Structure 1
Amino acid sequence: MKKVLLFSCLMVAVTSVQAAPISLEYQGFYQRLKQVNKGNYPLIEIAFSVPNKALCRVKSGVLTTEKESFPLTITEQQRIFLPYDAKLKSDRALIKLDIDGPSDKCSIAMQVRAKNTQQEYSQKQVLEIQAEMNRMLSDMQGFPMRYFSNDIAGVNFEFATDSKISVVIDGKEQIVTDKLRLSSEQINSLSSIEFNTKPLVVSPWTNG
């Protein structure tokens, strides 16, 4: 069941927390950021976040060493922006999050996603995003990404919860709720795609 869950949402638990406030070693995050920065990925990135906002709300966060402390940027969607800094790793930096809610409902998740989103895409643009996602996931083999040995099934375009989005694919309109999922076969056969609003996230679609 765990394997199916990981494939269905590509939200990989990095660690679970047992008590509030949360304190996590920066080193583990640095290793993932290093893998990404060593590759050539102009279109995609990895994002760290605290999911399950209804039960685990992040109030604030800091990155600390023995001598310094830096505030973290955390979005309304609870994405946590972390710097890629070898000195912070060598200084044994800690990520400290102040939360509301039961600590056993909190976890840190990692997601592969496009760096930017737009309202219109050509087939070439979607194929390039998909190709980079496949390459990044291949480069990140090993725990906790050990399941992602095959190419992704396609690409997800994700929108705000309960939203209704107009999508035009090669001149044909359809309405989707929350998410449009395009398989690799569909991407290979389309010419262009247009939304009435930009997706919040463009992510891999994986299957088990």
Structure 2
Amino acid sequence: MRNRTLINGFIFISSIFLISSSSAETVSLEYKGFYDRLKQVNKQNYPLVELAFSVPITPDCTIVSGSITTENDQYPLTYSKQQRLFIPYDPQLKSDRGLVNIKVAGEAKQCAIAMQVRAKETKQGFTQTELLALTEDMNKLLDGLQGFPMKYFRKPINGLSFEFTDMQNQTVNVVIDDVETIAKEKYTLTVEQINQLKQISFTQKPSIISPLVTQ
């Protein structure tokens, strides 16, 4: 697999998932590419984290509709308003050479599919033990996605990123061991900070918890 880049916790994969149509708004991508990555997650035990596929939220990349098709069947493609794609893990779809079809509002060549490691569940408070367990699971999953022997050249993640959506210019109070601070759309913790705290809480549950990756 070529040209794979990790940016802010997202893995952009151009060799398989790059949307490269020059004129059509509806693009068909091989289901096999999604299946192979989902298989990597399902064959191992990562109880705390998952893979999320998404399309960038831009005027050209706004999703209009989506479907999963085979030669004989068609199924709806579920996606959220944040443009996360909910791709099923189904060996039969791979066997039937399924296609994931995405119709976007603008020029499809401007869009790419992003894959991100995320916490399966979020909540308003975490202990140090819980944060360290999340970090460990994220590192293990990213190692699996890198494959052998490239995982030995990947640096561990730098911490965790907590994202808050639909804020409408509001702020979130963050309390670490009785010390309060304020965050807006994102709050980050480095591994060093995690190792020093006992617990953290938020006045609003994070929408996404993902790896913190710095250069």
TM-score by length of 1: 0.91
CA distance in 2, matches of 1:42, 1:204: 16
Per mean C-alpha deviation after superposition, the further-off stretch among 100-109 and 32-41 is 100-109
- 1:64 aligned partner: 69
Counterpart of 1:39 (choices 37, 41, 44) is 44
For residue 55 of structure 1, report the CA deviation from its aligned partner: 2.8
For residue 9 of structure 1, report the CA deviation from its aligned partner: 4.2
CA distance in 1, matches of 2:127, 2:189: 13
Residue ranges of structure 1 left out of the alignment (5+ in a row)? none
Q: What percent identity do the matched residue pairs reach?
A: 47
Q: How many residues align?
A: 204
Q: Contact 1:60–1:97 at 8 Å: present in 2 too?
A: yes
For residue 163 of structure 1, report the CA deviation from its aligned partner: 4.2
CA distance in 1, matches of 2:63, 2:152: 29
Q: In structure 2, the residue corresponding to 1:17 is in which secondary structure?
A: coil
String of CA shifts for 1:94-147, please: whole Å, max 9, x gaps. Answer: 00112111212211110000011100111111111000000111111159x879
CA distance in 2, matches of 1:9, 1:185: 18
Alpha carbons of structure 1 residues 52 and 105: separation in structure 2 relative to 1, 3 Å: farther
Q: Contact 2:8–2:212 at 8 Å: present in 1 too?
A: yes
For residue 53 of structure 1, report the CA deviation from its aligned partner: 3.1
- 1:27 aligned partner: 32
Where does structure 1 differ by over 3 angstroms across 4 or more consecutive aligned residues? 145-148
String of CA shifts for 1:4-60, please: whole Å, max 9, x gaps. Answer: x73334242332332310110000100000000011011100000101333311011
Letter in 2 for 1:68: D
CA distance in 1, matches of 2:210, 2:69: 31
Alpha carbons of structure 1 residues 106 and 16: separation in structure 2 relative to 1, 3 Å: same
- 1:99 aligned partner: 104
Letter in 2 for 1:153: N
TM-score by length of 2: 0.88
Counterpart of 2:119 (choices 96, 109, 114) is 114
Q: In structure 1, the residue corresponding to 2:45 is in which secondary structure?
A: coil
- 1:191 aligned partner: 198
CA distance in 2, matches of 1:166, 1:190: 16
Q: Contact 2:143–2:151 at 8 Å: present in 1 too?
A: no
CA distance in 1, matches of 2:133, 2:111: 34
Q: Contact 1:21–1:96 at 8 Å: present in 2 too?
A: yes
Letter in 1 for 2:62: R
Letter in 1 for 2:121: N
Q: Quick check: 1:81 aligned with 2:86?
A: yes
Per mean C-alpha deviation after superposition, the further-off stretch among 5-14 and 113-122 is 5-14
Q: CA RMSD in A?
A: 2.1
How do residues 120-135 of structure 1 correspond to structure 2 at under 5 angstroms? 120-135=125-140
Counterpart of 1:175 (choices 165, 170, 182) is 182
CA distance in 2, matches of 1:35, 1:45: 11
CA distance in 2, matches of 1:147, 1:9: 18
